[in-house]
Amino acid sequence: MAITCNAQGKWSKIITVDQSGKKGSYVKIQDAIDAVPSNNVQHIFIRVEPGIYKEKIVVPEDKPFITLSGRNANTTVITWNDGGDIFKSPTVSVFASDFTGRYLTIQNTYGMTKKAVALRVTSEKAVFFACKITSYQDTLLDESGRHFYYNCFIEGGTDFIFGNAASLFKQCHLHSISQENGAITAQRRSSEEEKTGFYFVGCKITGVKSCTLGRPWGPYARVVFSQTYMSSAVLPQGWDDWGKPSIHRTAFYGEYKCYGPGARRTRRVEWSLSLSNHQASPYLTMSLMDGKTWVRA
């Protein structure tokens, strides 16, 4: 464990994990996280050397201010194989606030037969940069808190971004591997008063067959796609009401200046919205989650 100092106090400690045991203090990622003291107040950088780490990772609530970073998402892989329960199956679970994940692949290889979460984020504040998050059903449980995903690749077949956080996804690639009409999002906002939702800006949507943009896990589900490329995998109707016509009055499903063959709105469901510049402006920046006050460069 190295201790570093600079004028800004950017990193207080650096811990290196190396699967081979040659370069790091630890060979397992969980052991490095466990070494961070409870009620931590320092910025801890855990550097993960390239390798395939077959681990189930938990970042507990009492260990905030951790950055977990690989060098390249293609060469630094955290993988597990578990399914059936959205709370027990995640490969990586983040409960601590002020968490940052960078240059990592986080995957659940369980397959298509059961819910199998790759990443669960139940963190007051969390950021993910240039990560690959992959599974099939329920890939990313974006459960609660305020989160920022930048330049991430997120892949799944059904409800593969779901939960009730307030999250901004910027310049992310969403890839549907659904064989038939699987939803990308399942947002769970349950009341008009909640300040939650999923907001996608400058993203790209591709797919192997067909998909919808979202369906409502909660009656006041809120999802907005802005300036996003949509391939022909996105079905013309765009959105699915999950057999709950009552949500037509309460859900907020918006699109703003999207483009590509899947973005044509001529056959969209009538209860989705084509947003004006004024309507879309709150969903384009980190201000919707007060991100400027806590997202670190």
Which of 142, 173, 208 terminates a domain? The answer is 142
Per the domain annotation, does 220 fall within a domain?
A: yes
Are residues 165 and 29 located together in one domain of the fold?
no
Q: How far apart are CA 54 and CA 80, in angstroms?
A: 6
Q: How far apart are CA 104 and CA 91, in angstroms?
A: 12
For 33-72, the DSSP string reads: HHTSPTT--S-EEEEE-SEEEE--EEE-TT--SEEEE-S-
Inform me whether the pLDDT recorded for 284 exceeds 70. yes
pLDDT value, residue 6: 38
Which of 118, 142, 166 terminates a domain? The answer is 142
Q: How far apart are CA 292 and CA 297, in angstroms?
A: 10
Known catalytic residues? 138, 159
Are residues 265 and 184 located together in one domain of the fold?
yes
Q: Which domain holds residue 105?
A: 1-142
pLDDT value, residue 287: 77
Residue ranges with strand state E in 130-210: 132-134, 140-150, 153-156, 161-163, 166-170, 173-176, 182-187, 197-201, 204-207
Residue of 253, 295, 249 lying closest to 274 (CA atoms)? 253
Are residues 124 and 165 located together in one domain of the fold?
no
Per the domain annotation, does 148 fall within a domain?
A: no
Are residues 76 and 105 located together in one domain of the fold?
yes
pLDDT value, residue 8: 44
Average pLDDT, stretch 180-188? Answer: 96
Are residues 177 and 282 located together in one domain of the fold?
yes
> For 121-145, how does the pLDDT look when each residue is reduced to its tens digit (9 = 90+)?
999 999 999 999 999 999 999 999 9
Q: How far apart are CA 96 and CA 240, in angstroms?
A: 33
Are residues 41 and 161 located together in one domain of the fold?
no
Banded model confidence at residue 2, pLDDT cuts 50, 70, 90: very low
Q: How far apart are CA 103 and CA 75, in angstroms?
A: 9
pTM: 0.94
pLDDT value, residue 297: 63
Are residues 87 and 27 located together in one domain of the fold?
yes
CATH code for the domain of 199: 2.160.20.10
> For 225-268, how does the pLDDT look when each residue is reduced to its tens digit (9 = 90+)?
999 999 999 999 999 999 999 999 999 999 999 999 999 999 99
Measured at the CA of 208, the angle between CA 202 and CA 210, to 5 degrees, comes to 80
* Percentage of the residues of the chain whose pLDDT score is greater than 70: 96
pLDDT value, residue 7: 34
